[in-house]
Amino acid sequence: MWEYSDKVIDYFLHPRNVGELKDPDGIGEVGSLACGDMLRLTFKLDKNKRISEVAFKTFGCASAIASSSALTELIKGKTIEEAEKITNKDIADYLGGLPDEKMHCSVMGREALEAAIKNYQGEDSAKHELEGKVICKCFGVTDHEIERVAKENKLTTIKEVTDYTKAGGGCELCHDEIQKILDNINSKKHHDTKTEAKESQLTNLQIMHKVEEVIETRIKPALKHDSGGIELIDIDHFQVSLKFKDACATCPNSNVTLQQFIEKELQKEISPSIRVKEVK
């Protein structure tokens, strides 16, 4: 017998916003009857572009119904941008927690919301599309989904991955592949920690010299080729303030130049932590 919180039991026995909206602005569908869980989410926006109505239909266990109902309460009244920030952890926390073995229900809710938002934003399909290589054929879980959920929820074991995604909970033939994904995430974390330690040793003066060098030798010559220019205004550790000059000052694509060229060059040559902003 699972140990459910009082709120999970309440939202299972008295689910909010059950059903399906007519002519919704967004539709999201995840899961399948064959896998044992399925969720269809629909929502409508008001004149202020906030989610005014939301409804769901779920096939699944008590946790699936409670998580779906909780999700509808969480997104009601929010803008699309606000709703996009909701995580599966937010759903579980709203319910006072879920048993580890049922965390996949909260992940299903998050995925349904993403599918509905993408549908609203113009994607033809309301069905959640699998991205990446299918690792768990029993439940149709991809490497992208495993990696994302593992990172977001700081998962470190195959059992935790199964709890959150169902991957590995069937024939178990995918366990080696799941472990490789977890090992790769851990390797990246180790690399990031070493990078952060190296960055912390740089003084502001050292960063300034490096930024000035890259701007003079790489960025200014490239901009001058198109009759543009740039002036370094300020450097506060990894925050760089720049001002466009000449043709760049009136170019409608200056923001693209700032983010896709200048910032990327500085990040590549100095540190991934570098951020660049324009001063008018």
How would you class 260 by CB atoms within 10 Å of its CB: exposed for 0-12, middle for 13-18, buried for 19 or more? exposed
Catalytic annotation on 35?
Answer: yes
Q: How many CB atoms lie within 10 A of CB 9?
A: 14
Query: How distant is the alpha carbon of residue 31 from its chain centre?
Result: 19
Q: Which residues contact 91 (CB under 8 A, 6 or more apart)?
A: 67, 70, 71, 74, 106, 109, 110
Asked if residue 3 lies in contact with residue 102, where contact means CB atoms within 8 angstroms, the answer is: no
Instruction: Kindly give the pairing relationship between strand 134-136 and strand 141-142.
Output: antiparallel
Q: What is the C-alpha to C-alpha distance for residues 165 and 171, in angstroms, rounded to an integer?
A: 15
Catalytic annotation on 105?
Answer: yes
User: Can you list the alpha helix ranges (DSSP code H) found in 154-252?
Assistant: 158-165, 175-200, 204-214, 220-224
The encoded tokens of residue 26 equal 């967004």
Strand partners, 42: 27, 55
The encoded tokens of residue 121 equal 């934003």
Q: What is the C-alpha to C-alpha distance for residues 33 and 136, in angstroms, rounded to an integer?
A: 16
Catalytic residue among 105, 136, 174, 248: 105
Instruction: Kindly give the pairing relationship between strand 141-142 and strand 51-59.
Output: unpaired
Q: Which residues are catalytic?
A: 35, 105
